[in-house]
Chain A
């Protein structure tokens, strides 16, 4: 292993008699070291926040609150506004949630309630594997497999066969690269996170609740609907919000599929931008200091949003765990 745990390298004091208060030198060194590592985590989080805000500072100072509401993005005239990116981030993530959450909950219910025991392990492994595939590989697959299908099959089906082209949401030419494509790939990517959390909270529903429903003459589905899911709903909500956090910050696959255009269009067929993808896409071509700083400011907005979203999600999941312990 590359990094042996530091405490092992401490030379043992020859006379290392243990005392009740844990007062030996070795104990004190050990405790100080592990505490220092633990404290490193909050310090790191604060440091990251500081560095990102510092990187964004020139742009934030120049544009102030207007950075969030302006749609201008003109590096030549040094005008920057993140509204299209904020819009794209929210729309693609929410759309991904709408697609992924029901499916993920379905998988979790199937795994915890209906699945034959021999199938449970391998199926869980496959679903978890979705989370192990690197974002850039999703992007690659999306470009060469998903986009053609969307362009030639799904988009014409939605627009023409279902006649949705008359609505503003499915109008315009179907290039492939679009908000819809980003949402679909995001849905696939966040599904394993939502389903893993949901599966765990579903399995943690006490047997007494299941038996209460069954003993009243509920069918298995009625038991799930009336006893299991309501009991687990806070935890499931936590899982969904955790998935939202993932979707908001996902970079590579979205950059490769969303089309990268600074425009707010109601149509899901139109290209868009997200906070993360604009950074990834434009960093290399940013020529002046302010352009770079504006990109970093997009990162700062993303950081704040994901901090809040993750804080809420963790708090929800935790409150469930605490309830169950009580």
Chain B
């Protein structure tokens, strides 16, 4: 019987391969984060100089006049997100509660699957849906149609996140409430939902961050507007749409504004993500023993 089956040379080769592969994986990690760093750097360099108070308070200026802001687009994005939230949050949270509580029901399995499929639909398809449903019959674009398209996108995001968060609520807590004589629905609403609330808020914020940057569903629903409008049945401006319009234009001034708007949009998305992380962390500190 040979005691040492491993020859030192093959061992050296295997060790070297191990080293090379770990290096390659590390390189992949560097390459993957490189675009992010380049993009954020470029954005800061191009956009930061154009951001001032006027950007937030003024209206866009016609071509040729420099300056101007994006007040209408900022307000428009807030309104669109508000409509989307009014649709996406109740439906998403309700469905999420159902999925978490009727985990094994056949309907739940189907809904879960279809909710994931819905989540994978291209955003432009949502735009077509809202256009044919709400724009074509009336004959004009509207903030409402844009909000509906975004709201439909939000539903699956909120649903699955709510389900996940509710499932983290310990069964013992629920059983304790039921044992105290709470009816089931009150247990769900006042105990389970309240305990899971920070998580659900996080999920809602992440969903908002996702849809706030969407352009494709708005192209033929909210459409965009160069003027001030807060009416729900009229076309409305939005930051992402404004970025698209300005980026395609041949004017340097507008390009600068597009960069500034992109920086604001990213800032918004990042701020929401960071708040969401903060909320999650305080939840772990608070509830987790």
Contact = CB atoms under 8 A, between A and B. Distances in A.
Q: Is there any pair of Cβ atoms, one from A and one from B, under 8 angstroms apart in the complex?
A: yes
Interface string A247-270: 011111000100000000000000
A38 B279 CA distance: 26
A41 B114 CA distance: 7
Interface string A139-167: 11101110000000000000000000000
A215 interface: no
A283 B248 CA distance: 15
A136 B244 contact: yes
Given A7-B188, A221-B17, A24 B183 contact: yes
A181 interface: no
Interface in A73-121: 102-107, 109-111, 113-115
A162 B119 CA distance: 41
A8 B17 contact: no
Most chain B CB within 10 A, of A103, A106, A252, is at A252
Interface residues of B, number: 103
A145 B38 contact: yes
B269 A2 contact: no
A137 B213 contact: yes
A248 B271 CA distance: 29
A173 interface: no
A271 interface: no
Interface residues of A, number: 103
Nearest to A31: B185
Interface string A42-54: 1011011001101
B276 to A, nearest CB: 10
Contact of B129 (A10, A51, A107, A126): A51
Contacts, number: 309
Given A30-B188, A107-B32, A137 B266 contact: yes
A314 B117 contact: yes
Contact of A141 (B33, B39, B92, B212): B39
A299 B113 contact: no
Given A30-B184, A107-B32, A37 B94 contact: yes
Majority DSSP secondary structure for residues of A touching B: helix
Interface string B227-271: 000000000000011011001100000010011001001100110
B94 A6 contact: yes
A114 B110 CA distance: 38
Interface in B58-104: 82, 85-95, 97-99, 101-102
A137 to B, nearest CB: 5
B93 A5 contact: yes
Interface string A16-28: 1110001010110
B24 interface: yes
A59 interface: no
Interface in A293-316: 296, 299, 302-303, 306-307, 309-311, 313-314
- Identify which of B89, B99, B121 gathers the most chain A CB atoms within 10 Å of its CB: B121
Contacts of A3: 85-90, 93
B132 A51 contact: yes
B118 A16 contact: no
A104 B115 contact: no
B31 interface: yes
A178 interface: no
A318 B46 CA distance: 44
Contacts of B88: 3
Contact of B273 (A37, A129, A299): A129
A134 B264 CA distance: 12
B129 A36 contact: no
Interface string A228-264: 0000000000000010011011111000100000000
Contacts of B159: 41
6 contacts: A37-B94, A41-B115, A42-B114, A114-B26, A134-B214, A296-B132
The 8 closest A-B pairs by CB, nearest first: A249-B122, A134-B213, A106-B28, A37-B94, A30-B185, A310-B120, A3-B89, A110-B25
